[in-house]
């Protein structure tokens, strides 16, 4: 028999519930005499204040450490400020006396319960990715794609689990693959709807547009804990992706064997790099140049469309029952959004 605790996920909690179960410390800040805590799981998080906090408390100090797990043994869920769900505030001394929060030993919970991941089936997404790669006819673009997306390449294994962001959109395990497939499918649709598009350029650019994220995020936690890497801080994914692709093209040109492509036309190389560099659309959104070709403009819109669709999708998917019919503030959208009464 499993010794794992049954648990109530954050998105199933509503006002008046008595929470019992294990939650992870998502954030913890000491502010004057209290600990401003955020506890959560893969479905969301809920704030809690602990009064009369004492730093380095032997028994309860773990609550100030991000990633630690806390067992809640009957903490009331209440509504604050008319709309924000929170765990009822408590005094540190009361928590210790009554044992309402205790340390959760590793092994008493499923780590997966705390890892946000793509809702989509990774195998299916990889199959879709493979079909999109195979649909590219230009031999040089195809060879470039194969360097990253061939099953044997190191980038492929990493790509399958990598997050696409730290906090913006697709910020979870498998997010980069999901986002890339979505963006490329949107681009594929645009090719069938408009004229004057070089489909091979658009599809290749879409598949590679965020490849720099393999370097701009850290590998710690196998993609499960999105963190910006040092290269990410200093260069970010657009510049990193651009140099990864330049390097790959150089190698393809230098390779005299069957995988080599020979020389690329200077304009062909330029177009491919432009797809990466211009995909954020505006200088103030991180692109060093605005799109100067239709393919780059459409890639930018497809990228943005998927990023925004994902923000709404996740917010609606993981909205708590108590939040239905209310406005909810979301930091990654910088606004309040309305959570409809019924989940569609």
* Residues contributing to the site for Fe ion (CB under 5 A): 210, 303
Nearest distance, CB of residue 299 and Fe ion, angstroms: 9
The token duo for 172 is 């979870």
Pairwise CA distance, residues 291 & 93, whole Å: 59
Locate tokens 């669709």: which residue? 309
Q: Cβ closer to Fe ion: 104 or 201? A: 201
Comparison of 75 and 164: residue with beta carbon closer to Fe ion: 164
CB of 210 to Fe ion, least distance (A): 4
Residue 74 φ/ψ region, left for φ over 0, alpha for ψ in the -120 to 50 degree band, beta for the rest: left
- Least distance (Å) from Fe ion to the CB of residue 36? 32
Q: Which is nearer to Fe ion, 183 or 339 (CB)?
A: 183
Instruction: Considering the complex, state which of residue 140 and residue 179 has its C-beta at the smaller distance from Fe ion.
Output: 179
Q: What is the DSSP letter of 5?
A: P
Which lies closer to Fe ion via its Cβ, residue 81 or residue 334? 334
The answer to whether 223 and 158 are in contact (CB under 8 A) is yes
What's the rounded Cα separation, in Å, for the pair 284 and 340? 33
Whether residue 39 contacts residue 46, with contact meaning beta carbons closer than 8 Å, is answered with yes
Give the distance, in angstroms, between the CA of residue 69 and the centroid of all CA atoms in the same chain.
Answer: 22
Evaluated on CA atoms 250, 255, 256, 258, the torsion sign reads negative
From CA 23, how far away is CA 45, in angstroms rounded? 9
Q: What is the 3-state secondary structure (H, E, C) of 277-321?
A: HCCCCCHHHCCCCCCCCHHHHHHHHHHHHHHHHHHHHHHHHCCCH
Instruction: CB nearer to Fe ion: give 41 or 303.
Output: 303
Minimum distance, C-beta of residue 306 to Fe ion, in the bound complex (Å) = 7
For the bound state, the minimum distance from the C-beta of residue 143 to Fe ion, rounded and expressed in Å, comes to: 23
Which residue's CB is nearer to Fe ion, number 75 or number 176? 176
Measured from the CB of residue 234, what is the shortest distance to Fe ion in angstroms? Answer: 17
Question: At its nearest, how many Å lie between Fe ion and the CB of residue 312?
Answer: 16
CB half-sphere exposure, 111, CA atoms < 13 A? 6
């Amino acid at each position: 028999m499993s010794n794992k605790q049954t648990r109530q996920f954050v998105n199933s909690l509503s006002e008046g519930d008595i929470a019992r179960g294990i939650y992870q410390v998502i954030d913890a800040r000491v502010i004057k005499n209290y600990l401003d805590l955020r506890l959560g799981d893969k479905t969301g998080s809920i704030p809690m204040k602990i009064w009369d906090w004492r730093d380095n408390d032997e028994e309860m100090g773990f609550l100030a450490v991000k990633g630690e797990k806390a067992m809640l043994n009957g903490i009331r869920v209440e509504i604050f400020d008319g709309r924000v769900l929170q765990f009822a505030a408590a005094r540190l001394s009361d928590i210790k006396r009554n044992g309402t929060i205790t340390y959760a030993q590793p092994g008493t919970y499923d780590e997966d319960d705390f890892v946000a991941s793509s809702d989509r089936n990774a195998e299916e997404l990889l199959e879709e990715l493979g079909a999109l790669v195979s649909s590219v006819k230009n031999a040089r673009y195809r060879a470039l794609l194969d360097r990253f997306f061939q099953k044997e390449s190191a980038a492929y294994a990493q790509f399958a689990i990598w997050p696409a962001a730290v906090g913006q959109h697709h910020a979870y395990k498998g997010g980069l693959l999901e986002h890339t497939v979505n963006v490329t499918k949107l681009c594929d649709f645009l090719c069938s709807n408009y004229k004057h598009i070089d489909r091979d350029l658009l599809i290749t650019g879409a598949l590679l547009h965020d490849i720099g994220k393999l370097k701009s995020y850290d590998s710690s936690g196998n993609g499960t804990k999105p963190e910006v890497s040092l290269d990410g801080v200093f260069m970010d994914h657009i510049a990193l992706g651009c140099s990864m692709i330049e390097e790959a093209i150089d190698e393809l040109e230098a390779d005299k064997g069957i995988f080599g492509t020979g020389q690329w036309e200077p304009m062909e190389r330029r177009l491919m790099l432009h797809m990466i560099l211009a995909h954020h659309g505006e200088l103030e959104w991180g692109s060093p140049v605005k799109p100067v070709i239709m393919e780059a403009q459409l890639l930018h819109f497809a990228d943005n469309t998927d990023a925004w669709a994902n923000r709404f999708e996740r917010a609606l998917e993981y909205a708590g029952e108590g939040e239905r019919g209310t406005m909810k503030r979301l930091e990654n959208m910088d606004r309040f959004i309305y959570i409809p009464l019924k989940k569609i």
